[in-house]
Amino acid sequence: MPQSKTQNLIVLFWQWYYAIAPKKILKTWRNVLSFGWNFFSIGLLFKTLFAPWKRDITKSTSGFDPKAWLESLVMNLISRLIGAFVRGWVILLGLFFEIIILIFGVLFFLGWLIFPALIVIGIIYAVIMIR
């Protein structure tokens, strides 16, 4: 922000408050949302939702053995269900985090924009109440 000798400090403040700071607030908000998405690996967990838990799979033996084949199938299904259960909870936790950050971000940004008007309204209200 280049300062001109002719610009008033008040003008510079309002220029910063309504032109520069909101851009930085939105950029920071976007970075926090991106951090949460990446920290909880939401995209990756959706892609691998039904992958076996910890890649724990059993392989059936060679030859015709229905009991071993069924046992392998059941163990692999259980492993996939455990993986889906754990990944599902992590996804829900991550989405909850994202929603909370989204709500607080909207409230903070709107509060930032409205705060100067609230100060003026508060001063006017205080002057009226003193009389």
From the CB of residue 15, how many other CB atoms can be counted at a distance below 10 Å? 13
Kindly report the pTM of this predicted structure.
Answer: 0.75
Average pLDDT over residues 105-119: 96
The mean predicted confidence, pLDDT, of the chain is 89
> Per-residue pLDDT tens for 33-67?
999 999 999 999 999 888 877 776 667 667 777 88
**What local confidence, expressed as pLDDT, does residue 131 receive?**
80
Is 90 exceeded by the pLDDT of residue 106? Answer: yes
Do 19 and 33 form a contact (C-beta atoms < 8 A)?
A: no
pLDDT above 90 for 88: yes
**pLDDT band at residue 73, thresholds of 50, 70 and 90?**
confident
Instruction: Give the chain's radius of gyration (CA, Å).
Output: 28
